[in-house]
């Protein structure tokens, strides 16, 4: 029965890993811009907030439990030690993995090792990650080396050496963790003008450290719940209640520091001013710290699995929300450049976590992590040939099913990710609206009120004076007229502000020329775009011969490009001819005064 629960969970994790795998490939194939929601105003997003800051804080259980067992000689917590250290180690691995996705040039990740910058907080963070991951791997290595696989004397020698080094390693680990947890907070000391004052704090390093200790303890608690559920272990109630008590104390310290800091900076009333930041702050501190602190302080609640589990979940999500707020949500950015994590950012986070989860389950099932003796029974059952064959078939069954799931998920992810991720970033389309007015036209295609006041009448008069033939005067600018029209306005063909748009209606032409048999009217040979004849083969008079700038084409350029080209080329000519050097410069047409009042009224009518 227990086997089945773990199998279902593992199937699910495999599916998530597969989805994340696709997203990672696309991220490296098409770059950060195409696959993430990051921008110049949000250089750090979900990966930094959740995977990096959250992951490191989640891993704090490793050093707290190690300190309890080795330094404070609280031997009763030893059963939790190995899984806590394993979680910390895998947590750091997932952090490094997410970081590799987030860095623009991940192949330069080793540069901080050779190019020392002791003034940079990020430099310290980089070194701490490297050193502490090494220390954690050494702390966990004995568990792996105890396995019968490593029977060779050399492994035994290493094992003995590592066991002798345990205490120095633990002390080094605690020092590195203290530095690292706090220096992640120090990262945000340099952003006083960017981070909302409710989160910007001069004691950020201390806040980060204290909350990480609480988070680490609660994570160890949650993890005990999960493994007890998956493998039908008995929940170590007494131990977890003890952890809960310590976590409550740490949470109270954290709350006191946080509120004291606000009082000291005279901001204690700021959360209640009704802004969304205030609400976020209250949710984060209330649901994520205050309520779990109260719940865990009540002995009856922390001894019941439900009470303990609830407060652990609340506390963990609250402190992770704090990391996200500090690094992403509460950072100021101009409203037009809002950030939301893209699907591939979320998928990569999910995939990395799931992969780490699978590694965790593998290690737990293979090595003696929980200190339980059932390992040997399993070994005996495997040694009989019948059960060996059975195991093999079971394994093959898993492979069959999981490979099918993985294929399906990869295909679905590949298909469902928005096409901009698969095909690269494209400019969003911006519809062009018509110019308004009569003798004076207000040209403002995207209606952002940064348009051009165009003196249509004056241009017509000037053109009439210069043109040899009065009839073609209009055609200097109105270079292409639709059938039955004399002067088709710009926006009828240049329909997008920035992107080229097609002005050819294929279905219309196909129907008009006689359905299925009409292909050969335009296409010579195959029915592909390349084989079609030019528009002017049939529409001989549609394109003006007076126009200097424009070729007759299936695609019309973006509105901005087309108009700039049309106006500026003529203005440049006239600037030298009339010796008016300011004529081709931007403010000649783009003036700050905006639309004429009459036009403004028209606009307000046409834009409900």
Partner 1 sequence: MTDWLEIAQGPIFRFALAIFVLGLARQVGLTVSGALTAIRRAKDRRLPYREIAKETLSWIFPIRALRRARPLQSVASFAFHIGVILAGLFLRNHIDIFQSNVGIAWIALPRPLLDCLTLLAIAGATILLLYRVYSLSVRTLSTAMDYILLVMILGLMISGYIAGQSWNPIPYNTLMLFHTWGGILLVILIPFTKIAHCVLFPLTRFCTEIAWHLTPEGGSEVIHTLYGSDGRKV
Partner 2 sequence: MIGILVDVTRCIGCRECVAACVNANRLGKNIPLPQHSADGLSSQRWVSVISRPGERYVRKSCLHCLEPACVSACPVGAMQKTPAGPVVYDASLCMGCRYCMMACPYGVPRYDWDHLVPYVRKCTLCYSRLKEGKLPACVEACPTQALAFGQRSELLSQAHRLIRSEPMKFVQTVYGEHEAGGTLILYISDIPLDWLGYHVAPGPTPLPDYTALAMSLVAPTSLGVMALMAGTWWVIQRRMKLMGARADSSEGETQ
Q: Which does residue 585 bind out of partner 2, partner 1, none, counting CB within 5 to 8 angstroms by kind?
A: partner 2
The contact mask relative to partner 2 for 332-371 (x = CB under 8 A, - = no) is: x-x-xx----------------------------------
Q: Under the criterion CB under 8 A, does residue 343 sit at the interface with partner 1?
A: no
Stretch that binds partner 2, among 183-191, 286-294, 476-484, 536-544 (CB under 8 A): 183-191
Q: Under the criterion CB under 8 A, does residue 385 sit at the interface with partner 1?
A: no
Buried b (16+ CB within 10 A) or exposed e, 44-54: bbbbbbbbbbb
The rounded distance, in Å, linking the Cα atoms of 285 and 291 is 9
Applying CB under 8 A, which of residues 305, 371, 418, 428 lies at the interface with partner 2? 428
Tokens of 427: 């400019």
The rounded distance, in Å, linking the Cα atoms of 126 and 108 is 12
Q: Under the criterion CB under 8 A, does residue 108 sit at the interface with partner 2?
A: yes
The rounded distance, in Å, linking the Cα atoms of 498 and 323 is 38
The contact mask relative to partner 2 for 538-577 (x = CB under 8 A, - = no) is: ----------------------x-----------------
Q: What is the DSSP string of 255-272?
A: HHHHHHHHHHTT-TTGGG
Sign of the four-CA dihedral 576, 577, 583, 585: negative
At residue 543, the 3 state secondary structure works out as strand
Applying CB under 8 A, which of residues 4, 104, 266, 386 lies at the interface with partner 2? 104
- Where does residue 579 fall: left (phi above 0), alpha (psi -120 to 50 degrees), or beta otherwise? left
Q: Which does residue 190 bind out of partner 1, partner 2, none, counting CB within 5 to 8 angstroms by kind?
A: partner 2
Q: Under the criterion CB under 8 A, does residue 34 sit at the interface with partner 2?
A: yes
The rounded distance, in Å, linking the Cα atoms of 595 and 448 is 11
Q: Which does residue 235 bind out of partner 1, partner 2, none, counting CB within 5 to 8 angstroms by kind?
A: none
Q: Under the criterion CB under 8 A, does residue 386 sit at the interface with partner 1?
A: no
Q: Under the criterion CB under 8 A, does residue 399 sit at the interface with partner 1?
A: yes
Stretch that binds partner 1, among 122-130, 377-385, 406-414, 546-554 (CB under 8 A): 406-414
Stretch that binds partner 2, among 165-173, 301-309, 363-371, 544-552 (CB under 8 A): 165-173
Query: Of 41, 24, 198, whose CA–CA distance to 99 is shortest?
Result: 24
Count of residues of this chain found to bind partner 1 when the rule CB under 8 A is applied: 29
Q: Under the criterion CB under 8 A, does residue 397 sit at the interface with partner 1?
A: no
Q: Which does residue 469 bind out of partner 2, partner 1, none, counting CB within 5 to 8 angstroms by kind?
A: none
What part of residues 203-222 is at the interface with partner 2 (CB under 8 A)?
A: 205
The contact mask relative to partner 2 for 461-500 (x = CB under 8 A, - = no) is: -------------------------------------x--
Applying CB under 8 A, which of residues 11, 30, 492, 596 lies at the interface with partner 2? 30
C-alpha 307 chain-centroid distance: 33
Is 492 buried (19+), middle (13-18) or exposed (0-12) by CB count in 10 A?
A: middle
The CA-CA-CA angle for residues 514, 516, 521, to 5°, reads 60
- Judged by the rule CB under 8 A, the positions of this chain that interact with partner 1 are 392, 396, 399-400, 403-404, 406-408, 410-412, 414-416, 419, 422-423, 507, 510, 515-517, 519-520, 525-528
């Amino acid at each position: 029965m227990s086997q089945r629960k773990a199998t279902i969970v593992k199937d699910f994790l495999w599916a998530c890993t597969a989805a994340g795998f696709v997203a990672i490939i696309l991220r490296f194939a098409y770059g950060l811009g195409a696959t993430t929601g990051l921008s110049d105003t949000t250089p750090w997003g979900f990966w930094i907030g959740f995977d990096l800051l959250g992951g490191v804080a989640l891993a704090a259980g490793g050093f707290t439990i190690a300190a309890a067992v080795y330094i404070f000689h609280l031997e009763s917590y030893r059963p939790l030690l190995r899984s806590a250290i394993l979680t910390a180690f895998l947590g750091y691995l997932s952090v490094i993995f997410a970081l590799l996705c987030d860095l623009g040039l991940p192949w330069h990740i080793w540069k901080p090792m050779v190019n020392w910058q002791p003034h940079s907080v990020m430099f310290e963070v980089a070194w701490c990650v490297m050193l502490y991951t090494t220390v954690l791997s050494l702390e966990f290595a004995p568990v792996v080396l105890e396995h019968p696989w490593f029977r060779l004397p050399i492994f035994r020698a290493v094992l003995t050496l590592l066991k002798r080094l345990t205490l120095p390693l633990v002390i080094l680990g605690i020092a590195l963790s203290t530095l690292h947890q706090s220096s992640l907070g120090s990262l945000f000391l340099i952003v006083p003008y960017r981070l909302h004052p409710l989160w910007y704090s001069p004691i950020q390093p201390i806040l980060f450290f204290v909350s990480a200790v609480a988070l680490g303890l609660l994570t160890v608690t949650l993890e005990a719940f999960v493994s007890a559920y998956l493998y039908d272990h008995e929940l170590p109630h007494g131990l977890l209640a003890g952890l809960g008590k310590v976590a409550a104390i740490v949470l109270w310290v954290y709350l006191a520091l946080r509120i004291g800091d606000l009082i000291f900076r005279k901001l204690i009333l700021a959360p209640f001013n009704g802004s969304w930041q205030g609400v976020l702050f209250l949710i984060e501190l209330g649901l994520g710290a205050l309520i779990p602190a109260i719940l865990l302080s009540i002995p009856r609640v922390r001894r019941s699995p439900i009470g303990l589990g609830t407060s652990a979940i609340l506390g963990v999500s609250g402190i992770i929300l704090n990391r996200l707020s500090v690094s992403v949500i509460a950072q100021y950015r101009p409203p037009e450049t809002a950030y939301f994590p893209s699907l591939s950012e979320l998928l990569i986070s999910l995939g990395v976590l799931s992969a780490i989860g699978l590694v965790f389950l593998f290690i737990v099932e293979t090595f003696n992590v929980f200190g339980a003796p059932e390992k040997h029974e399993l070994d005996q059952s495997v040694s009989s040939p019948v059960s060996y064959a059975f195991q093999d078939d079971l394994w093959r069954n898993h492979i069959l099913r999981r490979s099918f799931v993985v294929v399906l998920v990869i295909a679905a992810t590949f298909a469902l990710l928005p096409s901009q991720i698969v095909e690269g970033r494209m400019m969003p389309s911006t519809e062009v609206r018509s110019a308004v007015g009569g003798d004076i036209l207000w040209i403002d295609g995207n209606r952002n009120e940064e348009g051009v006041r165009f003196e249509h009448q004056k241009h017509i008069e000037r053109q009439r004076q210069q043109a040899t033939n009065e009839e073609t005067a209009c055609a200097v600018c109105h270079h292409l007229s639709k059938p039955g029209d004399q002067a088709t306005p710009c926006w009828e063909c240049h329909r997008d502000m920035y992107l080229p748009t097609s002005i050819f209606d294929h279905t219309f032409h196909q129907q008009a020329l006689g359905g299925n048999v009409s292909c050969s009217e335009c296409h010579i040979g195959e029915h592909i775009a390349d084989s079609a004849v030019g528009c002017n083969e049939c529409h001989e008079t549609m394109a003006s011969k007076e126009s200097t700038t424009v070729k007759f084409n299936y695609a019309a350029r973006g509105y901005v490009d087309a108009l700039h080209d049309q106006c500026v080329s003529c203005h440049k000519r006239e600037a030298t001819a009339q010796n008016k050097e300011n004529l081709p410069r931007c403010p000649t047409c783009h003036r700050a005064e905006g639309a004429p009042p009459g036009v403004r009224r028209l606009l307000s009518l046409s834009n409900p």
